Chains A and B, each alone.
Chain A
């Protein structure tokens, strides 16, 4: 039962509250890092949507890119390695009136957090997950990541990578994500649109961002991507066609598609979880009427 003595004030009426901007500290990324474009794109998307900063929670795991929440004026949760997505899911279930954005890198999301990533998409939790995919572990100074290409010589693979790289877009298609896009941090406005539409989308939105590491990845550079990326929306792609989305997802070479691969409307986890029908959990009374009695029984 919903409790009328809400613990968190619901959205207030009155003068407009500030939207998300920069925080009081500056990023510590290397000069030229792709992640500057991503934080700019996320900020631009949130400004465009006009969501007040107190209603936004930006979550991350561990890695260079996972410092991102510190650089925005919203609520933030800088979690542990690979756990951006489950934290983001938990925040949504605690208060599904909040806008929740997961952030992190390819190592964090597709290596350490791969299991969480797959199952969050399958659940279609209504959040937006933005990965800064630089195909390297940058914070630890350059080891092969799950998306490093075969043959890439890194500190952990001095003779070159001998494992097939994971394809995040194809994995998202296979896992049931309902909004799947790829952005490029060299095109911030395009990225901001992808993120904004992902936030608007009702369901799990995944935006994989090609975000070059200028210090430790000398293969997948800004130039590498500038020569290869093309926009799906300019090439007649129909994002409601899942077979076509698969065909585009498999393109990785001389041409690399960016933009929206796939979008479908499907009920979210929050829609189907009856407990949440009475309103955000944070406004509901906790379900144990006499906790002291329960504690006595078990301890």
Chain B
């Protein structure tokens, strides 16, 4: 297990929210001598002291607030590569690629097996993590797909919208279910056969 502690006392005042390239700051844990800090909930400086109240509106602290936001948001860049990447399952050159996440993946896998038995080749790009999204990771999987079908258990295709906002990717088809019931494999099979018979490929 990685240690919770990432900092040791060096005689200097400890900066819990120190500006770093990755945005992640060295962490002390209560109980460590000489590293006391306050974790402030409102916007704060590197030490943890609040930027609000008497500091609000002063040019130095206005710019400090922006720097702290920049540092905080840099963490997302790193995180987008730390979370599990999208995974391609099935034959690389299948004419239809399903896109799914969460428990819908199981129903899609069952549907793919049934389609294979019927002679139709499909594959799946599943997203073990839905956010943050690294566009190059998406390109590495979905970039090779031909026709794609988003399978999602909500009315508006929320993940599809997120994927489009973050990468510009738009699936060819969408299969959305919002009757409160989980997906059944036969529903996915039926939709896949429907689009293929309508001249998709």
Interface residues of A (CB under 8 A from B): 7-9, 12, 17, 23-25, 28, 52-55, 57, 62, 67, 69-70, 73-80, 91, 95, 97-98, 282, 285-286, 295, 299
Contacts and interface: CB of A to CB of B under 8 A. Distances in A.
Contacts of A70: 38, 40, 48-50
A74 B37 CA distance: 7
A67 B32 contact: no
A299 B31 contact: no
B53 interface: yes
Max count, chain A CB within 10 A of own CB: residue among B29, B37, B41, B48: B41
Interface of B: 1, 3-5, 13, 29-42, 48-50, 53-54, 84, 128-129
A12 B33 contact: yes
Contact of A8 (B1, B31, B34): B31
B53 A76 contact: no
A28 B37 contact: no
A282 B27 CA distance: 14
A78 B42 contact: yes
Contacts of B53: 28, 67
5 contacts: A7-B29, A8-B31, A75-B36, A76-B39, A285-B1
A75 B30 contact: yes
A7 B30 contact: no
Given A73-B36, A75-B38, 4 more contacts: A23-B38, A69-B38, A77-B38, A282-B31
A9 B31 contact: yes
A95 B50 contact: no
Contact of B37 (A9, A67, A76, A91): A76
B32 A54 contact: yes
B41 A79 contact: yes
A8 B4 contact: yes
A173 B190 CA distance: 63
Contacts of B31: 8-9, 54-55, 95, 97-98, 282
A276 B4 CA distance: 19
Nearest to B54: A28
A76 B84 contact: no
Contacts of A7: 3-5, 29
A54 B36 contact: yes
Nearest to B40: A78
B36 A282 contact: no
Contacts of A98: 30-31
A95 to B, nearest CB: 6
Contacts of B4: 7-8, 282
Query: Which are the 6 A-B pairs with shortest beta-carbon distances?
Result: A76-B38, A299-B128, A75-B30, A54-B33, A28-B53, A8-B31
Nearest to A29: B53
A67 B36 CA distance: 16
B125 to A, nearest CB: 14
A97 B34 CA distance: 17
A74 B32 CA distance: 11
Contacts of B32: 8-9, 54
B41 A80 contact: yes
A151 B37 CA distance: 42
Given A70-B49, A286-B1, A95 B30 contact: yes
Contact of B29 (A8, A67, A286): A8
